[in-house]
Structure 1
């Protein structure tokens, strides 16, 4: 993974997990507004050095990569906060429910993807993504009986804005995912169990989010856990929630209280 590092002498280690199709550049502004040590990886399959763009070696590899990064970079006694936006938030939830949960002390979820069938998810994620549903169903059935030979096949495509694709960083966009990457990037089928395993967390979403129903997060997630604090930001959409000053202020307050 390519990793950006913003050092700090004190405070927690905040690992920022970018959303689907993009890379760690999305956090440049937010990272510099926080008083903490920051790590911003480009997840495997993404960014300027993707390996195989849109793919990983096996389901679960994104969690393994994050666990290795945290193990290598955490100072003795330093708390670790895993922050994720959109699918990156989904990966944070997945990691909390998996084998590496003990590496996370707290989480920040920015408009997280919880699951395709969660009440928070709009149809086709508000037009942002097109899932190849029949292929996903078929591959899920094959994986259920231990057949993984076709997990490299593409199962989702992203509608990245033309203005981004034509811009200076357009070549860094990842426009489709394999089954194994897409599965690695989201909570498990029993997503409520992953949610229940979250450490203390802050969830922030924009009221005008086009991809997810922001007002559904608290009612859904509070069924599984009482560990969360929820903030809705007015006049803010799905991408805008990352850079709005209200988000930085809420995260700073959350980090100070750890």
Structure 2
């Protein structure tokens, strides 16, 4: 979008802003989105995300664990993969946007084989091979509730557990942050954030986020305003699309999100959510991340979580981080200390 076009859009919205008045106080996301319109990249080219490095290290599908199921509180069957070990520590690792847990298989298997943690990788509601509603959930907080139900399931099937680490990569890391600041945050013994997406207004996010996601602001803005008034009728409208290259599609991808899934799959206020964390937290990012700025994480996170450990892996890209041996070794050593 050209700078002149952005200004025209802002001017067109401005009279509406005057009419709704106090709505602005009720819908802080609207204010943030106006800021996003003004500061949005003006058409800079991006190289996209490095899918090649990721897929070159993933095991064949036949070597990835088959899915198991658990029942969420609404009696929906949700799916996950289990990478067993003899450890009394469980790591629940949430995938990023647009995909499912398969791409975390190298990371999960390597960590589990080291004996440091049993790893579980859920396919979040709205994602995976056979979701009830692809790209959608029933209400904004549902993924948090699903994650809480899954923790309960993991503790039931593995009664030896002493420590449960909640973690995630990219948007999954954002969901872990949201979970930490929500109603169920005390269910986690520690948090692991792998290149977490902290929201479009975070200083850790590059312009265009690597060209991966394309938000429809003409839909997001009015729906956000309506939510500020308590009107959720249009929350099922799809507002976000992902650019997954066709070479890496297999039918399990989720290429668009509803407003409620977009909002629920990540933190809406990383400062408040991170400020609620009182347990150990490890954040790992790659120096060559195309979507995020690794050098900004320490200054952003440490003031909010003084006990946090922030590590940067030289040469690792956004997706390459989850198949990087150094990154896995950092996590392995941190979990061992827990």
Q: Same-fold call, TM > 0.5?
A: yes
1:133 aligns with 2:217: yes
Aligned residue in 2 for 1:210: 290
Is 2:298–2:310's contact at 8 Å kept on the other side of the alignment? yes
Residue in 2 aligned with 1:22?
A: 99
CA contact (8 A) 1:111 1:204 kept: yes
Deviation at 1:162, TM superposition (A): 2.4
1:205-249 Cα shifts (integer Å, max 9, x gaps): 110100011110110112212121111111111000001001110
Contact 1:2 1:49 in 2 (8 A): no
SS at match of 1:212: coil
Structure 1 counterpart of 2:227: 143
1:196 to 264, 268, 275: 275
Answering whether residue 58 of structure 2 is matched by residue 58 of structure 1, we say no
Point out the more displaced range, 12-21 or 128-137: 128-137
In structure 1, the partner of 2:151 is 70
Q: 2:318 aligns with which of 213, 235, 238?
A: 238
Taking a change above 3 Å as real, the CA distance of residues 77 and 242 of structure 1, as seen in their structure-2 partners, is closer
1:44 is matched with 125
Higher percent of residues as helix: 2
Partner Cα distance (2:184, 2:172) in 1? 16
Q: Secondary structure at the match of 1:72?
A: helix
Tell me if the contact between 2:97 and 2:172 (Cα under 8 Å) persists in the aligned partners.
yes
The CA deviation string for residues 37-79 of structure 1, in whole angstroms up to 9 with x for no partner, is 1111100000112111100011110010010010121236521
Higher mean alpha-carbon deviation, 31-40 vs 70-79, is at 70-79
Q: State the Cα RMSD in Å.
A: 1.1
1:253 aligned onto 2:337: no
Check if 1:103 corresponds to 2:187.
yes
Counterpart of 2:23? Answer: none
The question of whether the paired residues in 2 share the 8 Å contact of 1:124 and 1:131 is answered with: no
Where do 4+ consecutive residues of structure 1 move more than 4 Å?
none
Distance 1:139 1:238 in 2: 30
Q: Figure out how many residues of one structure are paired with residues of the other and give that number.
A: 253
Counterparts of 1:148 and 1:212, CA distance in 2: 31
TM-score of the pair, normalised by structure 2? 0.73
Distance change >3 Å, CA 78–CA 212, structure 1 → 2: same
Unaligned runs of 5+ in 1: none
**Pair 1:179 & 2:259 matched:** yes
Q: Are 1:201 and 1:227, in contact at CA under 8 Å, matched by a contact in 2?
A: yes
CA distance in 2, matches of 1:155, 1:120: 23
How far apart, in 2, do the equivalents of 1:32 and 1:191 lie?
A: 30
Change in Cα spacing, 1:76 to 1:99, as seen in structure 2 (3 Å) is farther
Gaps of 5+ in 2: 1-77
